[in-house]
Structure 1
Amino acid sequence: MNRFTTAVGRFFTYLFHFGPRLTWFYIVYPRFAGRKGIMRRHEEIKRWIRKEFAQVLASYKERPFVSELPEEKFPPPPIWVCWLQGEKQMPETVRKCYRSVLANAAGRAVILVTEQNVGDFVSIPAFITEKVRKGEMSRTHYADYLRILLLKNHGGLWIDSTVFVTDEITVDRGLDFYSVRQDPASIYYVSQYRWAVWLLGCSARCGSYMFGCLEELFRTYLSRKSVFVDFFLFDYFIAAMYEELPQVRGLIDRVPYNSTSCEELISLLNSPYDENLMMSITNRSIFHKLTWKKDFDLRTDDGRETFFGVINRLYE
């Protein structure tokens, strides 16, 4: 009965905020339409975004992403990592990931963003921090907005706090935009693996354009809505920009395919360490998405060192 009540409440909440058409294609239609329903859900959310935020998208359509200075005159863009509670409060997996970023920064500044220093880099609208305080906005979505604002104002490379790095971070050099990009595409994610919001980078001259548009979309949305049209709103905004703004499409399409093994290491962390397998994985990606929500073993039951055990030893 509780599950039924929750489902009914969700249906009417969505109906109130987003209307009958989107409610049908978001909640009802995918339940019986399979793959077609998933694809239609993506299209309907993008359609809704284009309608609701037409003015924002139109304002960027003819706007070039240029700077008063040529790119080579900008200082090297920083690497951004965020753990709001600070380094001392990091879970063990996050601490190892952060140390791997520091070890592979290739001379670039690595800035750890915390609750204490976030104001040194960006000014977050008061109504957004109030939404977080009231529980109307999750810390996940707050972090989404924060990374957009940092990249808009400063450029650089955002690396999620649970990304383990295994080589020098130079892959974004010479590109105005960088992210994970994989092939083949998948219908289940609106990004279709053309980008990943856990790894996003931009040049200083691109930041004010692409991430300026993203920030305006996100801020405008938050000023109007207290309910998220989808948990992956960030991805839907990028997808709508990809289709509406030719310059954004060009920026994303110029990123070479990369990081084909970025989600393989996480499934092996409790397995006995295999150097050949590790080399195979790290040869295909220098970025590896992990999680802090699980505990990992240093050794197997029979005493062999695990993949996580090696990572722990290397970054003690």
Structure 2
Amino acid sequence: MWLDATFFCTDSVLLDSYFNEPIWSIKRPEYNHASVACGYFAGYSLECHEENRYAFSTMRDLFLNYWKNNDIMVDYLMVDYMIVLAQKHDKRIQNQFDRISPNNPKCDELIKVLNEQFDKDKWADLKTDTCLFKLSWKQKFIEEKDGKPTFYKYLIEGKL
């Protein structure tokens, strides 16, 4: 399994269930993000069974061919482009990605509230159907707001 190092995982049981999937990625069809993935997969979260490694070896080969002829990455989301290209090249890969069930619909929501005062009801809502939260090292967060602990403080103290 590949997960970007900036993920915060809240439920190892649910995470373990992803290993039972032939191919897995975070999938949020309603995400409406203006990227090539469109929420149907996320290049920062990938897993597959051994019998489906052909999908990832296809992407690897596409990358190797690209780097043989180029020395700059044309886009930050290059992995996403390679996944789409692999799906167009091999319908088996497309079929496997199509079979991924939607999951982790709120994975981008925790980072939006890290500077807010901690609210147990909001936290319970965020964790509904989501165990993986994408965070970032590129932002600074505060530990208190109006004298009360923030979601960030709860996170760094291991209370989430």
> Please, what TM-score do these two structures have when normalized by structure 2?
0.91
Given residue 166 of structure 1, which amino acid in structure 2 is its aligned partner? T
Aligned equivalent of 2:147: 303
Aligned equivalent of 2:123: 278
CA distance in 1 between partners of 2:67 and 2:5 (Å):
24
Given residue 171 of structure 1, which amino acid in structure 2 is its aligned partner? S
Corresponding residue SS for 2:81: helix
**Deviation of the 1:229 alpha carbon:** 3.5
Kindly report the root-mean-square deviation, in angstroms, between the aligned alpha carbons of the 2 structures.
1.5
Corresponding residue SS for 2:76: coil
**Deviation of the 1:304 alpha carbon:** 0.3
Which ranges in structure 1 are unaligned for 5 or more consecutive residues?
A: 1-156
**Deviation of the 1:267 alpha carbon:** 0.7
Is structure 2 residue 59 aligned with structure 1 residue 204?
no
Q: Which of 22, 26, 37 is residue 180 of structure 1 equivalent to? A: 26
CA distance in 2 between partners of 1:171 and 1:183 (Å):
20
CA distance in 1 between partners of 2:76 and 2:5 (Å):
19
Greater RCO structure (CA 8 Å; 6+ sep): 2
CA distance in 1 between partners of 2:138 and 2:33 (Å):
27
CA distance in 1 between partners of 2:76 and 2:149 (Å):
37
Given residue 164 of structure 1, which amino acid in structure 2 is its aligned partner? F
Aligned equivalent of 2:37: 191
CA distance in 1 between partners of 2:32 and 2:122 (Å):
26
**Deviation of the 1:228 alpha carbon:** 2.9
Change in CA separation of 1:174 and 1:307 when aligned onto 2, cut-off 3 Å: same
CA distance in 1 between partners of 2:23 and 2:114 (Å):
31
Contact 2:25 / 2:47 at 8 angstroms: preserved in 1? yes
**Deviation of the 1:257 alpha carbon:** 0.6
**Deviation of the 1:185 alpha carbon:** 5.9
Aligned equivalent of 1:44: none
Corresponding residue SS for 1:189: coil
**Deviation of the 1:255 alpha carbon:** 0.8
**Deviation of the 1:241 alpha carbon:** 1.6
Given residue 212 of structure 1, which amino acid in structure 2 is its aligned partner? S
Change in CA separation of 1:280 and 1:192 when aligned onto 2, cut-off 3 Å: same
CA distance in 2 between partners of 1:304 and 1:185 (Å):
32
Pairing of 1:6-45 with structure 2 (within 5 A): none
CA distance in 2 between partners of 1:238 and 1:189 (Å):
12
CA distance in 2 between partners of 1:212 and 1:162 (Å):
25
Contact 2:115 / 2:142 at 8 angstroms: preserved in 1? yes
> Please, what TM-score do these two structures have when normalized by structure 1?
0.48
**Deviation of the 1:176 alpha carbon:** 1.4
CA distance in 2 between partners of 1:306 and 1:221 (Å):
44
Pairing of 1:1-316 with structure 2 (within 5 A): 157-168=1-12, 169-184=15-30, 186=32, 188-207=34-53, 209-300=54-145, 302-314=146-158
